[in-house]
Structure 1
C-alpha cells in the first residue's frame, strides 16, 4: 500500500519524475515525464533518453555513492531545447518496486522561462545603461568645458548649452518611454473595458503631428472608412500607438513626401474570430530590409542606430506599440521592402 501511495503521489506531481534502477534503466515515469520525453520509456537506458553529462554524473553519484544532487542541465525533448533543474536522489532497495539493489529518482523542473527572463533583464539593464551613458558623458564633457576654456566665450557657451539641452531632452524621452513601457506591461493582461472611436483618435494623432510633418515636407492623408468607428479600447493608449506609428513614418519614411492613414473594416478576422478594424500607416520612404522586420518590436532594436538617435528615437516606441496592441487583443503587422516604403497595420476587434 505504501508503494502504491508513493506511485500515486508521484503521478499527481506536475513535474516529470523518473525511477531508475541500479543498471541505469528507467523502471517507471509519471505522466508528466511521458508527455515530455515520450510514451515508451520503461526499460530504456537513461543515457539513451537524456544525453546530458551533468545528469549522468549526478545519477552515477546517487547510484554508486548514495549522494543527492541538484544540477542545472540543458536538454532536448521532442525537438525543443529547454533548461531544467534536475533533482537526483538515491532510492533504497525495494523488491516491491523492482529495486533489489536500490536505484534513484530524477525530478525535472523546467526553468527555461526563468533563464530567458533573466537574460532579458540583463540585456535590458545593459541597453538602458548604454543609452543613458552616451548623453550623460556628453553633458559632463560640456559642463567641464563651460567651467574652463569656454567660460568667457558667449558663442561657445550658447552652442554647448543648446547641445546639452538636446541631450537632456533625449534622456527625458528615454525615461518617459521606460515608464510608459513599464505601465503598459503591467496592464497587458487587463483588457480595456471602455469603448473608443478610432476616427477621433486618428484625427487627434494627425492634428498633433501636423507641426512635425509640415517642416519635413510630408503630407498627412486620411483614407478609407470614416464616421464613427468604435472598438473596445483605452483612448490614451491607442493615441500613443497611432501617434508613434505616424511620427515614425514622418521621420523615417518622409522622403516619399506623404504618409497615408487608412482604415478598413474587416467582416471577419480569423485570428480575432470576429469583425475588426484595420488601421494602416503607410509611407513611400526607402523601406526596411526584410532581415530587420522580425526584430523591429524588440526593445532598443534599431535599423539605423545613428539615424534613430539623431531623430530623437529611444528604440522603445515599437515595443510599446506591440504591448498596447496585445493588451487590446489585436494584431500588429509590418510590411516593407527596400525602396518600396513601409506599411504598419494595427488590427483591432470592432464593437
Structure 2
C-alpha cells in the first residue's frame, strides 16, 4: 500500500515520504526538478591524466546542481520558479538550503532525508575546462508524493534533467500525458549526461525515449547526445526525424562550437559568443535557463515567424551562458535580464 504523508497525500511509488516544507496552494509558473547540490571547487594547475596529478591553488565551496542552477537562472531573469529536490539532513544539505533561501526560488518542495547530500568535486583548469566527480545519495532517493506531483503538473513549464531518478521522470511524463492536452504544462527535458553515466542514478533510456517523442523542448549536450544516439550526425538525423510541429524543437549544444537547432525536420547552426572564459561549470544550465525564459515564457513578436523566434531564443540563451562563463562558479555568474540585454547590445545583436 502507498504510504501517506502528514498532509494525507501519498508517494506515487509507495515509498516512505521524506520531510518537506508545507506546499503552497499555487504552483510556481516554472518547476525545475533536479539536484540542489554543493560544489567543492578546486582551481587546479591542470586536469590530470590517468595516474597523473595536479596542484590546487584555491579551494572554494559554492551552490550547484542542475535543477537548482536552472531555477536560480530563471529567478535572476525575473521568473516565478520553484525547485523539486532532495537534500540530506547534514552540513551540506543545510548549506544548500541556506543558499537557496537567499534567492527568490520557491524551495518548499525540497525534501530533507537521511541520505548524504549530493555534492560534486569540480576540478577547474586555467583555461576554464573542468572535470566533475559527484557523490551523495540524496537526489537518487527523491520521490514525488501525489500532492507534489499535482503541483508540478500545475505549473506552466516543467523542467527535468536526465540526472533526475528514473521513477521521478517516468511519473511526471505519465501524469502529463494523462492530462487533457489543454491543461498540460510544457515539458523541457535536458539529456545532461551520457547513458553510461546515468545508469543506476538517472533517467533510463526507455524514459528518455518517451521525452524524446513528447517533450515540448528537448536539449542535449555535446557529450550526452552522441553517446545516446550513436554519434553527432546520428543525433541530428534522429532528432530531425522525430521533432515535428506537434512535438516541439530540439537543441544540441556544442560548447564553444555553438548550437544546432532542430525544428520541423530542419537544422540551423547558431554560433556561440566569444568571451574570456573563467569557468565553464554550469554554462549548459545557464543556457537552459535562458532558453526556457525566451522560448516558453516570453511573448513573441507576431510578425516574426517561429523559426526566427526560436533562433533568437537560442541566441539569447547563448548570451546567458557566455556571461556565466566569465565568472567563477555557476550560480554566482548567472546574469540578470538587464545584464543580458547590455551584453547583446555591446555586440550589436538585435533580438525581436
TM-score range, shorter chain: under 0.3
* Max Rg structure: 1
The structure that is helix-richer by fraction is: 1
Normalising by structure 2, what TM-score? 0.20
Normalising by structure 1, what TM-score? 0.20
Higher RCO structure (Cα 8 Å, ≥6 apart) = 2
